[in-house]
Structure 1
């Protein structure tokens, strides 16, 4: 934690004293590029938090993995650094397994369902356990990044078309098993390495959300996009729990409230940008394939039992039906 002590003159009638106020800084990291709606929302958040805390909390934004990979920055946060990083539930499952269910294939039909889940006592319990077990403070989990699609060199219309295809995915068991179940060979690597890997042919394909793919110019190194919607990517910011607890309570509340509002704005921006970026990709010559997702859904069903998420999925479905809390 970096603290800056500033002296301010405090006067009362003819009596004056010297008071001190502590200032705080938070470095926020994401692998997404600067043209992402997520990063745009972060810059707005940066302005709001400065205003709402009267400059007591200063936020710095680092897109494109400038502070390191997501895993690197998570390690910094775990060690108590004043950093926060945008992370998916699959990565957090290594520390609090139930959270991983939110990254499972076809867990929800609409990204707005995640809002119901995040407000539930079930999710709050998972968040509390995450802090106890790992030292991570979950600041908010309402940052929707889009539906994951397949970006390939050859047309993919059914799972069998993925046989032998080396596909980049996130380096966690959930993502790796999902891509393998769909029929491809998972090739985990950092997002910032995907373009060059496709360019030189060390991988054949990638799975990603439309806005991130367009921002990374995957339309220049792939020919087809298959709309499988296999995972709706929800994410949130995690920081050091010890750093967060060092903040005054009013700053804790303001940080969480302002970040939640920014997440809502970013999610709406992503939903709108997804449609626009799809059109831009088509204009650049990429062929968009709409397919029957039922075979892909059927192939990934086994991932729930393989990773032990059958019971957690049942709890999620109860919440979405209004039968759980």
Structure 2
């Protein structure tokens, strides 16, 4: 009887203890850093590899180098980047293939060369679609709107993430050895383009003769008269010394000069959340700094080309509408390629910018 009483008493004590503690599990070690420690102190160091195919001093290079600096500062050197600019690891197509294969982690490149990997990015090939908008409006449409969410799904489906569209409402312009004073002067113009069907269709719609050539061949081709003209951002024109082989700089504003920060999605997902946050922060901060300089850089580059002998040609505001009348077939073609819903989403985002 006494033994039974003791057993019941012990059992009652145990039940009382459980009730008081709520059945709580032993406290798990905290993942929070100790007081005074960086949140990255306990994390293993990680090194990313990034690259671009841009010319010396181009926006992509400036962006990549600033992100590299900032992410190291933010993480106290725990997340670092080995950055290879200026085509050291290959051209845009090769770099994106390397990224998808996991040989490198991220690429900064213009949108035109991503179409072969993510067809929906052809939305950026719509001629003149951004020509009437300012940088703030374009930034909202590309980086913070419902269109952003929609296009990001297309990247993710191909194991890519785009962390930012870098732009400053500057554009790809045209240089030529033939004076272009009106839209009709493009007829018969032999112009070098990238290997992009939509770009070639645009120039055909204006009556020009587009000729896709690898970038390293462009200078000599212009010098030898194999082509009359080319189109590019002004920083690329300056970096390649095109003033030596071209007479005119024509402000056509036909395609937005826009760079993407593309990272392998699997690689990004594998990073510790603190590193993901730090990389996004570095990209966002670098973008603000670089974008604030892009308009000034573009104007300075125009002046450099003029100072070195090129004649600047600007059109009246009506030029955009004249071009749009002639290139509706390109809009229709791109809508069929990628789905009209992407075109509508972008146009709505531009019109309803906040």
Cα gap change, 1:86 to 1:187, in 2 (>3 Å)? farther
1:110-125 matches, within 5 Å, as 110-117=134-141, 118-125=143-150
RMSD (Å), alpha carbons: 2.4
1:148 paired residue number: 172
- List gaps (5 residues or longer) in structure 1: 1-11, 13-18
2:114–2:121 Cα contact (<8 Å) kept: yes
2:342 paired residue number: 312
1:31 aligns with 2:53: yes
2:217 paired residue number: 193
Runs of 4 or more above 6 Å deviation = none
2:52–2:95 Cα contact (<8 Å) kept: no
Cα gap change, 1:322 to 1:74, in 2 (>3 Å)? same
* Aligned counterparts of 1:199 and 1:179: Cα–Cα separation in 2: 21
1:107–1:313 Cα contact (<8 Å) kept: no
1:87 paired residue number: 109
User: Which is richer in strand?
Assistant: 1
The DSSP-based 3-state class of the residue aligned with 2:89 is: coil
User: Which is richer in helix?
Assistant: 2
2:51–2:108 Cα contact (<8 Å) kept: yes
1:78 paired residue number: 100
> What is the aligned residue count?
306
Higher-Rg structure is: 2
* Aligned counterparts of 1:266 and 1:170: Cα–Cα separation in 2: 25
1:101–1:107 Cα contact (<8 Å) kept: no
If the length of structure 1 is used for normalisation, what is the TM-score? 0.85
1:131 aligns with 2:161: no
The DSSP-based 3-state class of the residue aligned with 1:61 is: strand
Q: 2:281 aligned to 257, 261, 270, which one?
A: 257
2:53–2:91 Cα contact (<8 Å) kept: yes
* Aligned counterparts of 2:271 and 2:102: Cα–Cα separation in 1: 13
- List gaps (5 residues or longer) in structure 2: 1-33, 35-40
2:173–2:249 Cα contact (<8 Å) kept: yes
* Aligned counterparts of 1:32 and 1:95: Cα–Cα separation in 2: 19
1:104–1:231 Cα contact (<8 Å) kept: yes
1:45 aligns with 2:45: no
* Aligned counterparts of 2:199 and 2:135: Cα–Cα separation in 1: 18
2:18 paired residue number: none
Shift of 1:185: 1.6
* Aligned counterparts of 1:89 and 1:38: Cα–Cα separation in 2: 12
* Aligned counterparts of 2:102 and 2:60: Cα–Cα separation in 1: 25
Cα gap change, 1:270 to 1:317, in 2 (>3 Å)? same
The DSSP-based 3-state class of the residue aligned with 2:127 is: coil
